[in-house]
Chains A and B, each alone.
Chain A
Amino acid sequence: MTSKRVGIESSLAVSEAVRLANVDVIAAYPITPQTHIVESLAEMVANGYLDAEYIPVESEHSAMSACLGSCAVGARTFTATASQGLILMHEVLLVAASLRLPIVMAVANRALSGPLNIWGDHSDAMITRDAGWIQIFIENGQQAFDQTLCAFRIAEHPDVLLPTVINIDGFHVSHVIEPVYILDQKSVDEFLPPYKYPHPLDPDDPITMGCFAAPNLYTEARKALDASVRASKKVILDTWKKYGDLTGRYYNPVEKYKADGAETILVTMGSYSENAMIAIDDLQDEGKKIGLVRLRLWRPFPYEEVQEALSAAQNVIVLDRAISLGGPAPVCSEIRAALYTLDKKPQVASVVGGLGGRDISPDNFKTLIDLAMQKLKAGETQEIIMFGVRE
């Protein structure tokens, strides 16, 4: 394996991965903070740097719809979006999963209207939770590059055939220039087999895709899809292992940072984890028994790994960058559910913060942890802590 270390904006690193994957069709529509990805791909196609059909559709609904069509004839297919664009695609996202079309999508996560806000949080990803896509979160440009390549291998694997999304924090990752190791074409070709869809739309072997299911079959169809999403974990783990062996960068559904033996564990997802790490370093230097656990795989949800990572702790503090209006914060709700069946359950505090691009600096993380610890001590774990809000 050879790779080149370059200073590159994370969005462009994603585009490089898409180029190396030699995609056949890109259908896309602009929206901040995703636009750099589709602009750079358009430029690659215009300059012959990537041989692909680029469909500049008239909406995200049509972007994802065009992806259904191209993927269904057996063309490797990519798109990218964010926020309003992602939720405009919603109807189509569910169909992509149910038709088992392995589309790969990058989402530069961004807040949802209203009020309109173009900055980062996870609202768009959370509202997409139940769509049947494999959903992966990354923390920096290197991971964005790596996971985009892995996504094609996972999605298109004959045992999987499910659409896959890479969630990339808007601005905080998408627009940041970082050193990234870009793989050479030969290594990518060895890692990523050519796309071969087993049942393409083909006049020589006509199939019907997208029948309706009456009550006598709908439950079975949904159950089968659910089983497939769950079963995809095996291929995800296998792909990450292969990628690690190739590059030395290993990935896991749940990743621990100085968490072994910690009494209190902070749980984060996405790029804010890197600020949290700095806070954890400082707090451990001060002798505090606190560690960090980062969730990478959001769907299929890694119950066993979450249990394994958190069961020994007394306290768990979960940070959500999304709000479920009138309900529990989404990531925390899943974590609580995963821990519920344990004999000895840690106490769980739920924090919502970093909405609409609001920063959580390493110092802020220390304050956040303090606040959460106070609530945990007082046994007030039902209430959601809105972090950094002006009352």
Chain B
Amino acid sequence: METLAIYAPKLVTASDYIASGHRACSGCGEVLAVRYVCKALGRNTIISNATGCMEIVSTPLPETAWEVPWIHTLFENASAVASGIESGLKALKRKHGYTKEVKVVAMGGDGGTADIGLQSLSGALERGHDFIYVCFDNEAYMNTGIQRSSETPFGASTTTAPAGKLSMGQHTQKKNMPAIAAAHNIRYVATSCSSYPFDIMNKIEKAKQIKGPSYIHILSVCPTGWRSASNLTITMGRLAVETGIFPMYEIEDGKYTLNFDYPKLRPVEDYLKLQGRFRHLTKENTAEIQEHVLTEFNRIRMLAGKKIK
């Protein structure tokens, strides 16, 4: 990583496929992640986008921010649409002399992926279509106003699981989407985060080389939904990784690799205290979160064949 950091600016393309002028909130980590994903994908790409923030901010009729062919149809079917695109291109190649090499990509938010879109994603992964699925996980239904999803973290307050006198907000742990994707025996699964452009681009590059489905889950910082300062977006993502709250790893042919490990993880407090969605948490709540994070991080360490610290 260190050497790459020196040479990287020379290696990264200046081309962008999502234009500036979109209407994302200031400090949006999700649109930043989309930008890096697109840089790595390049121009020979067709994107199927689920309903959600990224669709809304980029395509108010008659405008578009997209410079690659892009289709949005509904909330829960981005993977199924991608299945059709991939199959259509295959038929065109075989029967009608189509020669272009195109990578098909489906993308959606955590709601479009882990909740309402899970069935169509599972179907497309299981059928083995040659496509990349990218989940931009901002940990709630942000487009419709910060409602909880199955990817909302334990303890976060959202508009449909608000903290109140009788509730601490979200009382369930994040659904383990990467493990669900990996359970389809696909060749490449990875997690990444909007604060790590080179990590995102490297992982997309890897996914592009795979024939068949791959899945990339990108934690995408959302100042609006997380109630964090919009100038802290990069910091927030780094803290999520450095506290171990969001481990960055790859699952290649079933084998785990932990990409970022630290001699000592930062306390979760460093991350939680900067976000209004966790403001109501008690010391005990925070301790509970800390314990869970260490257990989970160690579980990934173990899967990656590392010693437990």
Contacts and interface: CB of A to CB of B under 8 A. Distances in A.
Interface of A: 22, 24-25, 27, 51-53, 55-59, 61-63, 65-75, 77, 91-92, 95, 99, 201-214, 217, 221
A171 B43 CA distance: 49
Given A204-B100, A212-B61, A213-B61, A73 B73 contact: no
Given A58-B123, A61-B80, A99-B73, A206 B67 contact: yes
Contact of B71 (A53, A203, A209, A217): A209
A66 B44 contact: no
Contacts of A58: 119-120, 122-123, 126
Contact of B102 (A99, A203, A211): A203
Nearest to B85: A69
A73 B120 contact: no
B59 A212 contact: yes
Contact of A210 (B67, B72, B80): B72
Interface stretch (B90-98, B147-155, B158-166, B167-175): B90-98
B32 interface: no
Contacts of A73: 46, 85, 88-89, 92
A167 to B, nearest CB: 23
B60 interface: yes
Contacts of B120: 58-59, 61-62, 65
A91 B67 contact: no
Nearest to A200: B69
Contacts of A53: 87-88, 90-91
Given A201-B71, A209-B71, A211-B62, A71 B88 contact: yes
A201 B70 CA distance: 7
18 contacts: A24-B95, A51-B94, A53-B88, A58-B126, A61-B76, A62-B77, A62-B119, A62-B120, A63-B80, A65-B84, A66-B80, A68-B71, A68-B81, A69-B87, A202-B100, A206-B43, A206-B70, A208-B69
A212 B86 CA distance: 24
A89 to B, nearest CB: 10
B275 interface: no
The 10 A-B residue pairs whose C-beta atoms are closest, nearest first, are A69-B84, A70-B88, A58-B123, A66-B84, A65-B80, A75-B88, A62-B80, A210-B72, A65-B77, A24-B91
Given A58-B122, A221-B61, A74 B70 contact: no
Nearest to A26: B87
Contacts of A208: 59, 64, 66, 69-71
Contacts of A217: 61-62
Nearest to A22: B95
B221 to A, nearest CB: 24
B84 A55 contact: yes
B71 A56 contact: no
A59 B79 CA distance: 12
A112 B98 CA distance: 42
Given A70-B91, A211-B61, A27 B73 contact: no
Interface centre among A59, A75, A91 (most CB of B within 10 A): A75
A65 B66 contact: no
Interface of B: 43-46, 48, 55-56, 59-64, 66-74, 76-77, 79-92, 94-96, 100, 102, 119-120, 122-124, 126-127
A206 B59 CA distance: 14
A72 B84 CA distance: 9
Which residue among A22, A27, A204, A211 has the maximum number of chain B CB atoms within 10 Å of its CB?
A211
A203 B84 contact: no
B70 A209 contact: yes
Contact of A69 (B45, B67, B88, B100): B88
Contact of A57 (B66, B70, B83): B83
Given A52-B91, A73-B46, A208-B64, A65 B73 contact: yes
A15 B126 CA distance: 27
A212 B73 contact: no
Nearest to A210: B72
Nearest to A24: B91
Contacts of A27: 83-84, 87
B100 A65 contact: no
Contact of B45 (A70, A203, A214): A203
B81 A74 contact: no
Contacts of A63: 80
Nearest to A53: B87
Nearest to A199: B69
Contacts of B61: 211-214, 217, 221
Given A58-B123, A95-B74, A206-B68, A69 B82 contact: yes
B24 to A, nearest CB: 15
A275 to B, nearest CB: 40
Contacts of A24: 88, 91-92, 95-96
Contacts of B76: 61
A209 B72 contact: yes
A270 to B, nearest CB: 30
A95 to B, nearest CB: 5
B88 A202 contact: no
Contacts of A68: 71, 73, 81, 84
